[in-house]
Copies of this chain bind each other. A is one copy, B any other.
Amino acid sequence: MRREEVEQLQAEAAEFLSKVDIGISEQEQKSIEVADFGLNDIRNVGLEIVLYENNDRYCAKELILFPRQMCPQHRHPRVNENNPGKQETFRCRWGEVYLYIEGVATPNPKAVVPDKYRKHLSVWREIVMRPGDQYTIKPDTLHWFQAGDRGAIVSEFSSTSIDELDVFSDPNIKRVPELE
């Protein structure tokens, strides 16, 4: 193909893509995971998760964050010789999300965190993510994130998820608590 033809097709493809919604079925809605990490304060600390696929090789999810909702600080530890821990790629689809990772602390970060949760946060290198932005988190490194004032949607592509193994910095957290 000629370069101009490729460019024309790329423009058509992008136009196509812009028409697409991320919709889910009624049945999938009923299986959205509402994770409050056992803190019973879902509007401040929590995640809503649509799990598309999780097998022994890869995983894909949508993360829905309500306004200023926060996913608390954690890491995905090494599992064994063949698995150095979960690696994950976040792609912001809507809204704004503030991601914090290990490294030099960002002055005046955008996250707004109540003191009782703030004391368990130790990494403050800020990555501001807007629609189309992507970031990959290395295995076994600390991270946490909070949505901006309008909330956020984030696609997560990763290696296998094994939530029970996640290590949270706040000792009050249970990743998989029971329903009341």
On A, residues with C-beta under 8 Å from B are 1-3, 5-7, 9-14, 16-25, 28-30, 32, 34, 36, 40, 42, 48, 50, 52-53, 55, 57-60, 62, 64, 66, 82, 87, 89, 91, 93-94, 131-132, 134, 136, 151, 153, 155, 157-159, 179-180
Q: How far is the CA of A34 from the CA of B28 in the complex (A)?
A: 32
Q: DSSP class of A's interface residues: helix, strand, loop or mixed?
A: mixed
The answer to whether A17 and B132 have CB atoms under 8 Å apart is: no
Q: Is the CB of A132 within 8 A of B28?
A: yes
Q: Contact between B32 and A14 (Cβ–Cβ < 8 Å)?
A: yes
Q: Indicate which residue in B6, B18, B136, B151 contacts A21 across the interface (CB closer than 8 Å).
A: B18
* Complex: chain B residue closest to A152, CB-CB: B16
Q: B64, A17: Cβ atoms under 8 Å?
A: yes
